[in-house]
Amino acid sequence: MTSFELAEKLKTRFESLVTGPVEFRGEQTLKVLDAERISGVCDFAKKELGFDYLVDVSSLDNYGEDPRWTVVYELYGYGHRCHLRLKTDVSEEKSELPTVTGVWRTADWHEREIYDMMGIRFRAHPDLRRILMWEGYPYFPLRKDFPLSGKPSEIPQVAFTRPAPLEGGPFVTIAGGQDAIAREPRARIPETAALETNARLERRHDIKETHGRVYGPGPVEPKK
């Protein structure tokens, strides 16, 4: 049994729902045209075709194209030792598709990661929370419109708005410095210490201006 034969079997079962298989570097990729039916396709692949190991689930951001998201499933079967890739597109407006945690339990964390990094939701997922970023973080960092340098979070308490315990020591980054040298000094020079303190106070002032306080009493609800 080869990957190609298994892909053909999947295709005969679902007919117009899947296109492909496309071969590249010896790997077969099938595209599921309706993301709503992905869990059904996966269920068939596991129960009938013996793909018992879900290697990975990843996501693509086709920024500027429609549909924007692609979710990629890497399947593997210990019985026949064949690999198959399933892909499905999800539109930006919807940003939602059914979960496959009912088929493979390992999908739980993979789907949480995709939700965390891309903001694609998985319907009926048992515990769809952020996993790598913290609860309440407002952005989805793997999206193409998220800059590499990151965005300052406007939410006090959630992001770092308190002075760090080592602040003021050598090698500690100072927020709000003019340039990289000011932000990350290699040693503290007494002459510049006053400048650094000013920069810090300014930043605190900014935060207070925006939020009315520097330290809030409790966690703030994330922005919708």
**Which of the ranges 10-18, 129-137, 200-208, 212-220 carries the binding residues for another protein, by CB under 8 A?**
129-137
Q: Using the rule CB under 8 A, which residue among 47, 105, 205, 223 binds another protein?
A: 105
Instruction: Read off the amino acid at residue 77.
Output: G
Interface with another protein includes 142 (CB under 8 A)?
A: yes
Residues of span 44-63 touching another protein by CB under 8 A:
52-56, 58-61
Residue 6, SS3 per DSSP: helix
Query: Helix 3-14 crosses helix 38-47 at what angle (to 10 degrees)?
Result: 130
Size of site (CB under 8 A) for another protein: 36
Q: What's the min distance (Å) between Cβ of 195 and another protein?
A: 30
Return all residues near 160 (Cβ < 8 A) that are at least 6 apart.
Answer: 175
Interface with another protein includes 10 (CB under 8 A)?
A: no
Per residue, what are the HEC states of 121-168?
Answer: EEECCCCCCCCCCCCCCCCCCCCCCCCCCCCCCCCCCCCCCCCCCCCC
Residue holding tokens 């319907």?
Answer: 123
Residues of span 69-98 touching another protein by CB under 8 A:
72, 74, 78, 81, 83, 85
Residues within the interface to another protein (CB under 8 A): 24-25, 27, 29, 52-56, 58-61, 72, 74, 78, 81, 83, 85, 104-106, 108-110, 113, 117, 130-134, 141-142, 146, 148
